[in-house]
């Protein structure tokens, strides 16, 4: 059982008022809130040991380097990677995906096939389209059904000896669907294809084990799991990271530079050109420690309760339709009121202090599938409560009255 009172006290922002009402923060799928324990780490960095890493012999630089590398080990342990150098710091999921997509442009040929799913965030679609334009590879799409689940029999048909890469999100940010990534990975490997899993939306809810999954690449952002924005990670199997060329040239990623030839640094530095988000990396580690102290089993169980509670209460509102009714889903409820634009609902909810997301959630193909302009999306975290859901439900009722 979670101690909600104690947990909520960790998040200073939850004491805020918005438009004269207590904040109800239900936009967790866009970014999570930050506990005092992580804020303290950020303040400590800038107050006590702000310095550039890896290069300095002075004390501050050593301290910053030690903490930054210790956080890499925290991330490694959390995702159960075999080696710390298989964890590459990035600015987030989008950067991680672009790094891999860019690397594959030297490994793919015309006629090769790569597979994406219909449930993806734009950041897991556009880089691959750019890759196809560059290489002549062909992009195929695993379709979804009315519940927002991937049609796995269609996936089977797409796989063949030309398939080189499959990239699917672990959990859909727009609908909350948990995808069967174990099966997706196993079947891709049977035809010799590599797999990248976009874990941006999964990592706030579950603790992935990259070795048990046998996944080739797994990517995430710190800011969706209680960490700061502008930092994230790419896990890659050592063999794959050695095969990919560097993404950016610059300082930190070289072994030796002359004007005739430059040799690259080993992993992970080969992919970490320039001064990174040092404080962000250290705070990412602190965020992982914070979430593990609460416990992912307890988090998942409680969030599931919130999901069931909200689903039931919202469906009692006449004319409300929920998009994304997969059997396996996390605490995301995407919905619309009949005949009312989601933006208008969101605006009224904001007046009541309730933060939800409205729009296409960077997943326009999903909206196109349902033939809607967007949805209202309420996404719950472990620090939310059933009372807050009651506030949402009465807010939606009020919006319906005002707008219909
Ligand atoms: C948020 C999100 C992204 C993008 O993450 P950034 O931190 O903005 O790079 C990608 N995929 C999914 C599923 C997401 O939820």
- Domain of 386, CATH number, reads 3.90.1150.10
Specify whether 92 is located in the same domain as 201.
Answer: yes
CA distance 167 to 165: 7
Ligand 1 centre distance from Cα of residue 123 (Å): 7
Q: Is 31 in the pocket of ligand 1 (CB under 6 A)?
A: no
Specify whether 219 is located in the same domain as 266.
Answer: yes
Specify whether 205 is located in the same domain as 326.
Answer: no
Residues 170-199 have a mean pLDDT of 98
Is residue 91 domain-resident? yes
Confidence of residue 79 (pLDDT cuts 50, 70, 90): very high
In this structure, what CATH number is given to the domain that contains residue 174?
3.40.640.10
Domain boundary among 253, 269, 293: 293
Domain boundary among 293, 309, 333: 293
Q: Which residue, judged by its Cα, is nearest atom 14 of ligand 1?
A: 200
Can you give the residue range of the structural domain that contains 333? 4-26+295-403
Q: Which residue, judged by its Cα, is nearest atom 5 of ligand 1?
A: 93
Ligand 1 centre distance from Cα of residue 93 (Å): 6
Among candidate residues 132, 203, 226, 362, the one labeled active-site is: 362
Q: What 3-state class would DSSP assign to 22?
A: strand
Domain boundary among 293, 317, 347: 293
Ligand 1 centre distance from Cα of residue 198 (Å): 8
What value does the mean pLDDT of the chain take? Answer: 97
Specify whether 229 is located in the same domain as 350.
Answer: no
Is residue 35 domain-resident? no
- Chain centroid to Cα 218, Å, comes to 10
Q: Is 54 in the pocket of ligand 1 (CB under 6 A)?
A: no
CA distance 369 to 366: 5
Q: What is the pLDDT of residue 206?
A: 97
271-308 pLDDT tens trace? 999 999 999 999 999 999 999 999 999 999 999 999 99
Specify whether 225 is located in the same domain as 352.
Answer: no
Q: Quick one: residue 279, left, alpha or beta (phi over 0 = left, psi -120 to 50 = alpha)?
A: alpha
Residue 387 has pLDDT above 90, yes or no: yes
CA distance 109 to 126: 19
Q: Is 177 in the pocket of ligand 1 (CB under 6 A)?
A: no
CA distance 204 to 31: 10
137-153 pLDDT tens trace? 999 999 999 999 999 99
Confidence of residue 254 (pLDDT cuts 50, 70, 90): confident
Q: What is the pLDDT of residue 1?
A: 85
Specify whether 200 is located in the same domain as 235.
Answer: yes
Specify whether 237 is located in the same domain as 100.
Answer: yes
Ligand 1 centre distance from Cα of residue 97 (Å): 10
Is residue 37 domain-resident? no
Q: What is the pLDDT of residue 56?
A: 81
Q: Is 330 in the pocket of ligand 1 (CB under 6 A)?
A: no
For the CA of 172, the closest atom of ligand 1 is: 13
Specify whether 155 is located in the same domain as 287.
Answer: yes
Confidence of residue 126 (pLDDT cuts 50, 70, 90): very high
Is residue 44 domain-resident? no
Ligand 1 centre distance from Cα of residue 220 (Å): 8
Specify whether 327 is located in the same domain as 357.
Answer: yes
Q: Is 198 in the pocket of ligand 1 (CB under 6 A)?
A: yes
Is residue 215 domain-resident? yes
Ligand 1 centre distance from Cα of residue 174 (Å): 11
For the CA of 29, the closest atom of ligand 1 is: 15
Question: What are the C-alpha distances in Å from 280 to residues 15, 50, 117, 286, 378?
Answer: 24, 12, 31, 10, 27
Q: Is 123 in the pocket of ligand 1 (CB under 6 A)?
A: yes
Is residue 355 domain-resident? yes
Report the chain's terminal Cα–Cα distance, integer Å. 41
Q: What is the pLDDT of residue 290?
A: 98
For the CA of 223, the closest atom of ligand 1 is: 7
Is residue 73 domain-resident? yes
For the CA of 173, the closest atom of ligand 1 is: 15
Token pair, residue 154, equals: 């269609």
Other CB atoms within 10 A of residue 372 CB: 16
Q: Is 379 in the pocket of ligand 1 (CB under 6 A)?
A: no
Ligand 1 centre distance from Cα of residue 223 (Å): 9
Is residue 42 domain-resident? no
Percent of the chain beyond pLDDT 70? 100
Specify whether 69 is located in the same domain as 202.
Answer: yes
Confidence of residue 262 (pLDDT cuts 50, 70, 90): confident
Q: Is 124 in the pocket of ligand 1 (CB under 6 A)?
A: yes
CA distance 318 to 164: 47
Residues 11-36 have a mean pLDDT of 98
Q: What is the pLDDT of residue 54?
A: 87
Q: Is 336 in the pocket of ligand 1 (CB under 6 A)?
A: no
Q: Is 117 in the pocket of ligand 1 (CB under 6 A)?
A: no
Residue 131 has pLDDT above 90, yes or no: yes
User: Structurally, how many domains does the chain consist of?
Assistant: 2
Establish whether 362 is a catalytic residue: yes
Specify whether 179 is located in the same domain as 53.
Answer: yes
For the CA of 170, the closest atom of ligand 1 is: 13
Specify whether 304 is located in the same domain as 279.
Answer: no
């Amino acid at each position: 059982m979670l101690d909600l009172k104690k947990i909520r006290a960790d998040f200073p922002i939850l004491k805020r008022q918005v438009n004269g009402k207590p904040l109800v923060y239900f936009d967790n799928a866009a970014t999570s809130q930050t506990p005092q324990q992580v804020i303290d780490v950020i303040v400590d960095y800038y107050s006590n040991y702000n310095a550039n890493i890896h290069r300095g012999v002075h004390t501050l630089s050593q301290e910053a380097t030690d903490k930054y590398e210790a956080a890499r080990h925290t991330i490694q342990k959390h995702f159960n990677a075999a080696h710390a150098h298989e964890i590459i710091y990035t600015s987030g999921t989008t950067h991680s995906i672009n790094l891999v997509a860019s690397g594959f442009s030297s490994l793919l040929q015309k006629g090769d096939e790569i597979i994406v799913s219909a449930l993806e965030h734009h950041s897991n679609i556009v880089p691959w389209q750019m890759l196809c334009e560059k290489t002549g590879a062909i992009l195929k799409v695993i379709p979804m059904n009315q519940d927002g689940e991937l049609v796995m029999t269609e996936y089977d048909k797409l796989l063949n000896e030309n398939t080189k890469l499959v990239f699917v999100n672990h959990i859909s940010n727009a609908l909350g669907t948990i995808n069967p990534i174990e099966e997706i990975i196993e079947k891709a490997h049977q035809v010799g294809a590599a797999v990248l899993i976009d874990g941006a939306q999964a990592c706030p809810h579950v603790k992935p084990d990259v070795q048990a999954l046998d996944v080739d690449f797994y990517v995430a952002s710190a800011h969706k799991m209680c960490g700061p924005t502008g930092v994230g990670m790419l896990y890659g199997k050592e063999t794959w990271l050695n095969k990919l060329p560097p993404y950016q040239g610059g300082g930190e990623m070289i072994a030796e530079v002359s004007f005739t030839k430059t040799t690259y640094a080993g992993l992970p530095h080969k992919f970490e050109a320039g001064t990174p988000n040092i404080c962000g990396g250290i705070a990412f580690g602190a965020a992982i420690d914070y979430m593990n102290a609460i416990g992912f089993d307890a988090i998942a169980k409680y969030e599931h309760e919130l999901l069931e509670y909200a689903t039931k209460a919202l469906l009692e509102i006449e004319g409300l339709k929920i998009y994304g009714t997969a059997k396996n889903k996390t605490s995301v409820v995407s919905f619309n009121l009949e005949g009312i634009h989601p933006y208008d609902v969101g605006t009224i909810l904001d007046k009541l202090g309730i933060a939800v997301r409205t729009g296409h959630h960077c997943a326009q193909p999903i909206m196109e599938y349902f033939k809607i302009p967007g949805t209202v999306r309420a996404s719950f975290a472990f620090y939310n409560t059933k009372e807050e859901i009651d506030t949402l439900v009465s807010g939606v009722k009020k919006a319906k009255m005002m707008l219909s």
